[in-house]
Amino acid sequence: MLPTVLRSASRPRRLIDTAFTWLFRAFSFTGVVALGAIVVFILIQGAEPFFVPTAKTVRIVTERVDRVAINGELYENPEGFIEFPWDVKSVSCQFINKGEERELTFRLSPEKNYRTRLLQPIEAGDADVSFPDANTCSVSFLGALPGLNQKIHIILPEPPYNLFKFISGMEWLPAYRKVYGIFPMILGSILVCFGALLIGVPIALLCALFMAEFLPPKLANIFRSGVELLAGIPSVVYGFFGLMVIVPLVKQIFKTPSGNSLLSAVIVLAIMILPTIITVSEKCLQAVPLSRREASLALGASKMQTALHVVLPHAKSGVLAGIILGFSRAVGETMAVILVAGNSVQLIKSPLEGVRTLTATIALEMGYAEGRHSHMLFAIGIVLLVMILLLNGLILIIRRRGEADA
């Protein structure tokens, strides 16, 4: 009788366990698929400007032109793009301007790989010729009334961008010249992150040793709560603190025109990574067996010598993990860096000059970027991802070699 009751009672439990097992599998599968889709989307968007031109045609756009004949074909009230093959050698437009027939001719020199040049001079008579950007020419004819000028724009296709020029380029001018060079931003990101590690890691390790080895347990709990509170502060608060305190101090101490600089960004990031490294390192230091400490003390070593030469080397694997987490936060930090770094795309010669990081560029320009500019920001995201993978991989290799030597 009793086994029957137990079997009947266990059936609902098995059903519940099975249901939750499949539910967890479904959520895990959905998460993996979603993450994979996001990564694939970023890769496609970021790789597109290096393989695909912005367009495969030469495009004409008119404003306030009711009828226009382009290369012998008549268009009435044209709207949107009027497209021609990218290798066309000339585009001739005939239209009526203030009751007179006007003609405008664009002479082109097609090359290869969807690259074509607009030849000068442009035969436009008394019209005003301007170049809004490197691939667009606008010709404006006076209209019947002021402010109602008739305009004809020609837009040339942008060929695929050179990847080497993208990585090694020194200029970032996406609006007019269509130049996308990110080497100063790569260098700025590396300097900011390694500068933060150079300042933050020694301070964090000393704090972790002090809390784990020298403070009484009750007092250590108070300090630990404060460190955990610092870890929960939003990055924009750190950035505002840097803007109001660190930036004026740097400006006053070094007598510079502006305190927004690499040094300010390094100091703010060093403060931000402290809680992460301290928390992880302290847990690893506490996990060192008590017998190691007792053996060192029994041999006549002081408590400081034991902490530095016995406890810390024994916990270096976990300490390196904390440094990796702190480095990852420094690389991905955006808001705080935007507020204090100066955001100048340049090769700096001094830590007191402004700098721009890769993440700051994405955050500052994604809101208004379009076309190739938007794709280039996705490409910056790919570069950032590769940088994190390479640097984290380097740290892991160093960690494994240290474990092997131990």
Q: Residue 173: what are its φ and ψ, rounded to 5°?
A: -130, 75
Q: Comparing 367 with 7, which gets the higher pLDDT?
A: 367
| Token pair of 148 as six digits | 């109602």
Structure confidence at residue 3 (pLDDT): 55
132 pLDDT higher than 70: yes
Q: Residue 133: what are its φ and ψ, rounded to 5°?
A: -150, -175
* Portion of the chain with pLDDT greater than 70, in percent: 96
Average pLDDT over residues 135-160: 87
Q: Residue 106: what are its φ and ψ, rounded to 5°?
A: -105, 125
- Mind listing the pLDDT tens digit for each residue in 255-302? 888 889 999 999 999 999 999 999 988 988 888 888 888 888 888 888
173 pLDDT higher than 70: yes
Of 142-156, 238-252, 315-329, 390-404, minimum mean pLDDT range: 390-404
384 pLDDT higher than 70: yes
b/e burial code for range 8-41 (CB count within 10 A of at least 16 → b): eeeeeeeeeeeeeeeeeeeeeeeeeeeeeeeeee
Domain ranges of the chain: 57-157, 180-405
Structure confidence at residue 315 (pLDDT): 85
Structure confidence at residue 28 (pLDDT): 87
2 pLDDT higher than 50: no
- Mind listing the pLDDT tens digit for each residue in 330-355? 888 888 999 999 888 888 888 999 99
* Sheet strand arrangement including 57-63: 82-85, 57-63, 150-155, 136-141, 128-133
Average pLDDT over the chain reads: 87
91 pLDDT higher than 80: yes
1 pLDDT higher than 60: no
Average pLDDT over residues 184-204: 92
Residues 6+ apart with CB under 8 A from 189: 331, 357, 358, 359, 384, 387
pTM: 0.84
- Count the Cβ atoms, other than its own, within 10 Å of residue 347: 11
* Portion of the chain with pLDDT greater than 90, in percent: 32
Q: Residue 181 burial by CB count (10 A; 0-12/13-18/19+): exposed, middle or buried? A: middle
Structure confidence at residue 146 (pLDDT): 73
Of 10-24, 332-346, 362-376, 382-396, minimum mean pLDDT range: 10-24
Pairing of strands 82-85, 73-76: unpaired
| Token pair of 71 as six digits | 């290369």
Homologous superfamily of domain range 180-405? MetI-like (1.10.3720.10)
Given pLDDT bands bounded at 50, 70 and 90, which one contains residue 99?
A: confident
Structure confidence at residue 6 (pLDDT): 44
Given pLDDT bands bounded at 50, 70 and 90, which one contains residue 406?
A: low
